Amino acid sequence: MQNLAGNQYVITLDDDPIVSKIIEKSLALRSLSFPTITEFTSRIPTIDPLAVFVDIHLANDQSGLDIVPQLRARWPYSPIIVITADPADDWLVDAFRKGADDFLLKPIKPREVQARFQTRLTHLQDRAAKSALQAGDVSLDTAHRVVSGPNGRQFLAPVETLLLAQLIKAKGTVVPKETLKREAWGPVRVSDNAFYRKLFELRRALEGVSTSVKIQSVYGAGLSLDVQTNVTPMLSAL
């Protein structure tokens, strides 16, 4: 992923190179420019931008809006700002429905670029901070469904993410099995067999990232998250 500190950048999807140049200079950040959706799509797996600027009307009758849902899913906390030359553009409504955060009208005005970028970035970073849960040396990113710890990171299934989030929020207290089922599957009735299968997968993922955070079964009561802290007894000081 190319988003190292000091190497941050934004993406501009626009067939007009002037737009990318103005955005780059306005934000004093590098702008990777793509004229077509095809060229952009092939690079998505390897990049991690601070924000994406998408022109609605692209060359060859392509619409930048077609890619917005994919970008939203991939980068939930990177602002997606659409660009259009028409103030009365009906496409704007569609853009917001598809996950865009804001819009810019052509001509692109540098101060407006700065203001919208900063506002949206701050807002989404606040949301990102709220979606991160921590237990000992393990952290769970609920938006990306990633659990990480000193030994690495693992992607979780949606149900596994919900189960772990509930256990972390319970802060070591025992959560009844039925409560966990309700939180993770909603109103759907789930067999114990399916529940324990998911639990097995979640335990395996946790083992892959940390040795100090474990899911404990409390017979007849439910489950809890056991966080072992390394407390060194200071006996010599007594």
Provide the binding-site residues for other proteins, judged by CB under 8 A. Answer: 15-19, 21-22, 25-26, 28, 55, 57, 59, 61, 85, 106-111
In angstroms, what is the minimal distance from the CB of 24 to other proteins?
9
How many whole angstroms separate alpha carbon 58 and alpha carbon 80?
A: 16
For other proteins, the closer CB: 88 or 188: 88
Neighbours of 139 (CB within 10 A): 17
SS3 (DSSP) at 111 = helix
For other proteins, the closer CB: 39 or 112: 112
For other proteins, the closer CB: 46 or 60: 60
In angstroms, what is the minimal distance from the CB of 14 to other proteins?
9
In angstroms, what is the minimal distance from the CB of 105 to other proteins?
9
Backbone angles phi, psi at 208, to 5 degrees: -75, -20
Neighbours of 86 (CB within 10 A): 12
In angstroms, what is the minimal distance from the CB of 59 to other proteins?
7
In angstroms, what is the minimal distance from the CB of 17 to other proteins?
5
In angstroms, what is the minimal distance from the CB of 68 to other proteins?
19
For other proteins, the closer CB: 89 or 201: 89
For other proteins, the closer CB: 55 or 141: 55
How many whole angstroms separate alpha carbon 138 and alpha carbon 125?
A: 20
Neighbours of 124 (CB within 10 A): 19
CB neighbours of 124 closer than 8 A, spacing ≥ 6? 76, 77, 78, 79, 101
For other proteins, the closer CB: 35 or 222: 35
CB neighbours of 138 closer than 8 A, spacing ≥ 6? 147, 148, 149, 206, 209, 210, 213
Greatest distance between any 2 Cα atoms in the chain: 78
